[in-house]
C-alpha cells in the first residue's frame, strides 16, 4: 500500500521545507479548536443576548437559546465591540463571535472530511471500474462524468439543495454529554444535505483520477499474470488496481477537503446551509453591519482562510513528495 | 484522425452532455416538492385557478409527455416563461449575459496580467525572496473564499479608503461606449471602470493564484530541458529564451486547465455578483432559486452548460491544433 520509498519521500520533503510544518501545525490547532470547542468557548455560541455599552450582559436571559435566527423584535439588537467579556465582540444578534468562531471550525472540518469521504466512496469505484473494463462501460461512465463537469459545482449544489431542502442532522456533543462543559449546546448540527451535495458535485474528480490509474495499471505485467492464473476481475481490482492507484487519490482527497470547505462556506454564505454555526453564514450576517461592526464578518473569514491554507499546504506536501500529475477542481 | 472528424466527434459529445444537463434539470424539477401551479400563482390561489393553470401548462400530462415537450422547447430555443415575472426566460437570460461576460473577461485580464509575470519571476528566481512572495500570494489566493475577499475589499478600499464606489453600478459597458461614441466623453467609461475594479479583483484572485502556480511549475519543468541549455550556450539573451520559447511551451497546459476551470469561473461569478449586487446571470440565478422559479433556474443552468461546453470545444480544438497527438487518443 504505502511503500518505504513513499514514506522516506514524505519525510524528506517535510524536513526540507517550512511550509509542510506550518500546514501541519495550523491543521492540528484547528482540529484541536474544533474538538474542544465547548471547553474553549466562553459563551454558548447559539445564545443571543442583550448587552450594555461595556459588553456586560443586561439583564441575564437565562439558559434558553435557539438555533434559529430570532425574529426581529424578539431581542434588542445590540452588537458589542471586542471587550474582555467578549474577546472578539458579538454579532448582530448578540452572540459571542469568539465562541462561534470555535464552533464554526467543527462545521467546516466535518463537512470537509465527511463530504470528501463520500466523494471518494462514489468516485473511486466508478473510476476504477471504468478504467479497468474500458469499452462501453468506460464510455458510459465518462459521459456521465462529463455531464457533471458541465455544471459549475456551486450551481449544481444550489439546485440540489433547492430541491431537497437543508435538513441539518443534530449530533450529540460528547464533551457536553460527559458533563465537562456546562451551559454549552448539547448537540451540534451537521448540515446534512450540504454534506451529501458537496460529495455529489465533486466525486467526478476522483472518478477521473482513478480511471486514469486503472487504465495504465490494467496493462501491467503483474495484472496480466494474475489474469492468466484465472484470478477474478473483482479480486484483481481490489488486490492490485486499487492499492496501486492510491497515491494520486490521497493527494486529490487532501486538495478536495480544501475545495469542499470553500464550497460549504459559499453555500452557507448564499443562505443554503443547514446551520447558523457555519463560518460562511456568519460572514453573510456580518455583511449587514460591515461598515459599523466589521469584526462580525472578519473573524469567520480568517477561520476559513486558515483552515483552507492548512489543508492546501498538506496537499502540496503530499504532491511534492509523491509527485503524481493530477488536476483538481476549483470551487 | 483529421481535424474535421475530431471536431464533429467533440461537438456530438457536447450535444450529449447538454442533453444530460437538460434531463437532470427536468428530473430535479420533477422530484422537487411543491406543486408548480401553486408556486406560479402564489399562496391563496383558488383551486379552480390552480386546476386551470395545471391544464394550460400541461402539468396533468404523463411525465414522459412533459419531458418531451420540455426537451422540444429547449431544442428550438424556447425556454418557457418565468413563473414569477411571466417574462420569456430567453430574454431574461440574454439581458443579463453582458454584465457577467464583462466581469468574467475583466477577471481573466486581471489574472493573466498579474499571474504570468509573477509566475515567470517566481520560476526564474527560485528560492529567492520574490519567489517566496509569489508562492505566499498564490497560496493565499487559492485559499481565500471570494465572497469574504469581496467584503474585505469593499471595507478596506471602498468604505475606509474611499477609493472605489460600493453600490450597484449605474452604467454598463455598452452604455459607456455609446456615450463615448455619441458625445466623445470618456466619463461613463471611467465610472464603469471604477465599478468593475473590485468585483474583477474578487473574481480574478483565485485565477491569478492558480495561473501563477501553473506558470511557475510549468516554467520550472521547461527551464530544465536541454533546449534551454542549448539556447543559452548559443548565447541567446535569456529574456528572449524565457519569454519566447519557454513561456510558449508552458502556455499549452495552462490554456487547457483554464478551459476546465470555466465552471469554477461561473460559480465564482454567482458569488461575486451576489456580494457586489452586480446585475449579471449569477445574481439572477440566486433570485430564481430563492423564488423557486424553475423555468428561469433551468434556463440559466442550461445556458451556463452550453457556454461551458462550447468554450471547452474551442479550447480542445486549439489544443489539438497546437499538439496533434491528442487527436489520436
Residue A131, domain member (yes or no):
yes
Into how many domains does chain A fold? 1
DSSP assignment string, B108-128 = HHHHHHHHHHHHHHHHHTTTS
Q: Which CATH number fits domain B97-279: 1.10.3720.10, 3.40.50.300, 3.30.1950.10, 3.40.109.10?
A: 1.10.3720.10
Residue A190's beta-bridge partner residues? A169
| Interval B28-59: pLDDT, tens | 888 877 777 777 777 777 788 888 877 777 77
Question: Which residues from A are below 8 Å from B151, CB to CB?
Answer: 283, 286-287, 290, 297, 301
Are B145 and A305 within 8 A, CB to CB?
yes
pLDDT tens track for A158-175? 888 877 877 888 888 888
Determine the Cα–Cα distance for residues B329 and B323; give it in Å rounded to an integer.
12
Indicate whether A6 pLDDT > 70: yes
B residues 263-302 lying closer than 8 A (beta carbon) to A: 263-264, 266-268, 270-271, 274-275, 285-286, 289-290, 292, 297, 301
Test A270 with B24 for CB contact under 8 angstroms.
Answer: no
Averaged confidence pLDDT in chain A: 82
How far from each other are the two terminal CA atoms of chain A, in whole angstroms?
A: 30
pLDDT band of A69, cuts 50, 70, 90 = very low
**C-beta separation of B173 from B167 below 8 A:** no
Most confident of A102-106, B68-72, B254-258: A102-106
pLDDT score recorded for residue A67: 39
For A198-230, the pLDDT digits (tens) are: 998 889 889 988 998 888 888 888 888 888 888
> What is d(CA B144, CA B18) in angstroms, rounded to the nearest whole number?
32
Chain A hits for B263, Cβ within 8 Å: 149-153
Q: What residues does each domain of chain B span? A: 2-94, 97-279
Beta carbons of B148 and A305 less than 8 Å apart? yes
Are A108 and A261 a contacting pair, CB within 8 Å?
Answer: yes
What range defines the domain where residue A112 resides?
A: 4-45+75-326
Which CATH number fits the domain that encloses residue A273? 1.10.3720.10
Report the alpha-carbon distance of residue B296 to residue B85 in Å, rounded: 10
Average pLDDT over residues A249-270: 92
217-256 of B, contacting A, C-beta below 8 A: none
Contact B79, B93 (CB under 8 A): yes
Arithmetic mean of pLDDT over chain B: 85
Q: What percent of chain A has pLDDT over 90?
A: 28
Judged against a pLDDT cut of 80, whether residue A65 lies above it is answered with no
Tens digit of each residue's pLDDT (9 = 90 or more) over A22-53: 999 999 999 999 999 889 888 888 877 665 55
Does A330 score more than 50 pLDDT? no
pLDDT band at A145 (very low <50, low <70, confident <90, very high): confident
Answer whether residue A331 is part of any domain: no
A256 in any annotated domain: yes
DSSP letters, A193-239, are HHHHHHHHHHHHHHHHHHHHHHHHHTTSHHHHHHHHTT--HHHHIII
Tell me whether B145 touches chain A (CB under 8 Å).
Answer: yes
**Nearest Cβ partner of A155 from B275, B292, B304?**
B304
pLDDT at residue B243, rounded to an integer: 73
Residue A58: inside a domain, yes or no? no
Statement: residue A71 has pLDDT above 60? no
| Residue A271 clears pLDDT 60, i.e. is over it | yes
Reported ipTM:
0.84
Contact residues on chain A for B286, CB-CB shorter than 8 A: 158, 270
Residues 6 or more apart whose Cβ sits within 8 Å of residue A213: A127, A128, A131, A241, A244, A245, A248, A249
The confidence score (pLDDT) of residue A53 equals 52
Contact flag B143-A329 (C-beta cutoff 8 Å): no
What pLDDT sits at residue A70? 45
Q: Under a CB-based contact definition with an 8 Å cutoff, are residues B7 and B314 in contact?
A: no
CA–CA separation, B34 and B321 (whole Å): 50
Number of helices followed by number of strands (H, E) in chain A: 14, 2
Q: In the structure, what pLDDT confidence band is assigned to residue B328 with cuts at 50, 70 and 90?
A: low
Q: Which residues of B touch A147 (CB under 8 A)?
A: 16-17, 20-21, 24
Residue A75, pLDDT > 70, answer no
Which residue among B139, B155, B260 places its CB closest to the CB of A290?
B155
pLDDT tens-digit map of A179-189: 887 778 888 88
**For the segment B194-209, what is each residue's pLDDT rounded down to a tens digit?**
999 999 999 999 989 9
More confident position, B314 or B197:
B197
Residue A257 scores a pLDDT above 80: yes
Alpha carbons within 13 angstroms on the beta-carbon side of residue A154 total 32
Percentage above 90 pLDDT, chain B: 25
Are A129 and A78 spatial neighbours (Cβ–Cβ below 8 Å)?
no
Sequential DSSP letters for B39-61: HHH-TT--HHHHHHHHHHTTTTS
Tell me the chain B residues in contact with residue A150 when contact means C-beta distances shorter than 8 Å: 17-18, 20-21, 263, 305, 308-309
> Would you say residue A222 lies in a domain?
yes
Measure in Å the smallest separation between the Cα of A245 and chain B Cα atoms: 21
Q: What percent of chain A has pLDDT over 70?
A: 87
Q: Write the burial class of residue A264 (CB in 10 Å: 0-12 exposed, 13-18 middle, 19+ buried).
A: buried
- Contact check, Cβ <8 Å, B20/A144: yes
Tell me if A290 sits within 8 A of B159, measured CB to CB.
yes
Amino acid at each position: 500500500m504505502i511503500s518505504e520509498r513513499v514514506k522516506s519521500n514524505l519525510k524528506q520533503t517535510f524536513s526540507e521545507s517550512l511550509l509542510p510544518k506550518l500546514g501541519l501545525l495550523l491543521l492540528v490547532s484547528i482540529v484541536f479548536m474544533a474538538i474542544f470547542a465547548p471547553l474553549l468557548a466562553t459563551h454558548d455560541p447559539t445564545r443571543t443576548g442583550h448587552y450594555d455599552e461595556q459588553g456586560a450582559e443586561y439583564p441575564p436571559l437565562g439558559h434558553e437559546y435557539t438555533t434559529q435566527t430570532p425574529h426581529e423584535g424578539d431581542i434588542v439588537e445590540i452588537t458589542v465591540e471586542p471587550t474582555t467579556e467578549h474577546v472578539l465582540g458579538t454579532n448582530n444578534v448578540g452572540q459571542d463571535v469568539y465562541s462561534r468562531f470555535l464552533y464554526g471550525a467543527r462545521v467546516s472540518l466535518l463537512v470537509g472530511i465527511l463530504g470528501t469521504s463520500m466523494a471518494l466512496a462514489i468516485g473511486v469505484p466508478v473510476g476504477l471500474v471504468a478504467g479497468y473494463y474500458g469499452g462501453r462501460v468506460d464510455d458510459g461512465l465518462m459521459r456521465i462524468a462529463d455531464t457533471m463537469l458541465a455544471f459549475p459545482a456551486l450551481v449544481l449544489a444550489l439546485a440540489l439543495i433547492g430541491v431537497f431542502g437543508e435538513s441539518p442532522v443534530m449530533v450529540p456533543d460528547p464533551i457536553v454529554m460527559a458533563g465537562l462543559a456546562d451551559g454549552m449546546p448539547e448537540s451540534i448540527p451537521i448540515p446534512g444535505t450540504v454534506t451529501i451535495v458537496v460529495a455529489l458535485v465533486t466525486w467526478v474528480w476522483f472518478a477521473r483520477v482513478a480511471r486514469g490509474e486503472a487504465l495504465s495499471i490494467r496493462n501491467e505485467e503483474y495484472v496480466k499474470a494474475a489474469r492468466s492464473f484465472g484470478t477474478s476481475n473483482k479480486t484483481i481490482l481490489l488486490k492490485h488496481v486499487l492499492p496501486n492507484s492510491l497515491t494520486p487519490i490521497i493527494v486529490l482527497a487532501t486538495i478536495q477537503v480544501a475545495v469542499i470547505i470553500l464550497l460549504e462556506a459559499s453555500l452557507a454564505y448564499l443562505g443554503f446551509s443547514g446551520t447558523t454555526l457555519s463560518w460562511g453564514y456568519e460572514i453573510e450576517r456580518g455583511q449587514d453591519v460591515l461598515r459599523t461592526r466589521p469584526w462580525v464578518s472578519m473573524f469567520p473569514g480568517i477561520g476559513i482562510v486558515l483552515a483552507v491554507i492548512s489543508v492546501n499546504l498538506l496537499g502540496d506536501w503530499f504532491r511534492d513528495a509523491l509527485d503524481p500529475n493530477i488536476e483538481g477542481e476549483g470551487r | 484522425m483529421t481535424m474535421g472528424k475530431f471536431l464533429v466527434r467533440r461537438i456530438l459529445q457536447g450535444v450529449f452532455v447538454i442533453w444530460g444537463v437538460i434531463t437532470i434539470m427536468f428530473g430535479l424539477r420533477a422530484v422537487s416538492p411543491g406543486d408548480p401551479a401553486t408556486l406560479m400563482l402564489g399562496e391563496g390561489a383558488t383551486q379552480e385557478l390552480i386546476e386551470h393553470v395545471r391544464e394550460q401548462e400541461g402539468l396533468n400530462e404523463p411525465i414522459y409527455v412533459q419531458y418531451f415537450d420540455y426537451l422540444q422547447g429547449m431544442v428550438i430555443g424556447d425556454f418557457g416563461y418565468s413563473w414569477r415575472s411571466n417574462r420569456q426566460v430567453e430574454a431574461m437570460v440574454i439581458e443579463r449575459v453582458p454584465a457577467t461576460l464583462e466581469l468574467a473577461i475583466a477577471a481573466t485580464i486581471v489574472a493573466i496580467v498579474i499571474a504570468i509575470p509573477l509566475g515567470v519571476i517566481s520560476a526564474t528566481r527560485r528560492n529567492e525572496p520574490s519567489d517566496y512572495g509569489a508562492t505566499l500570494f498564490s497560496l493565499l489566493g487559492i485559499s481565500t473564499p471570494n465572497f469574504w475577499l469581496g467584503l474585505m475589499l469593499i471595507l478596506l478600499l471602498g468604505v475606509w479608503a474611499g477609493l472605489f464606489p460600493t453600490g450597484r453600478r449605474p452604467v454598463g459597458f455598452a452604455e459607456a461606449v455609446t456615450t463615448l461614441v455619441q458625445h466623445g466623453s470618456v466619463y461613463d467609461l471611467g465610472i464603469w471602470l471604477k465599478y468593475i475594479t473590485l468585483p474583477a479583483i474578487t473574481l480574478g484572485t483565485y485565477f491569478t493564484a492558480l495561473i501563477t502556480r501553473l506558470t511557475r511549475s510549468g516554467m520550472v519543468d521547461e527551464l530544465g530541458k536541454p533546449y534551454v541549455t542549448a539556447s543559452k550556450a548559443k548565447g541567446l539573451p535569456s529574456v528572449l529564451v524565457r519569454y519566447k520559447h519557454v513561456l510558449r511551451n508552458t502556455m499549452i497546459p495552462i490554456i487547457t486547465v483554464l478551459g476546465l476551470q470555466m465552471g469554477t469561473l461561473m460559480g465564482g461569478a454567482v458569488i461575486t455578483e451576489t456580494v457586489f449586487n452586480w446585475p449579471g446571470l449569477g445574481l439572477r440565478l440566486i433570485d430564481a432559486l430563492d423564488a423557486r422559479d424553475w423555468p428561469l433556474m433551468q434556463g440559466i443552468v442550461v445556458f451556463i452548460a452550453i457556454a461551458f461546453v462550447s468554450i471547452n470545444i474551442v479550447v480542445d480544438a486549439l489544443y489539438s491544433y497546437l499538439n496533434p497527438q491528442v487527436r489520436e487518443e
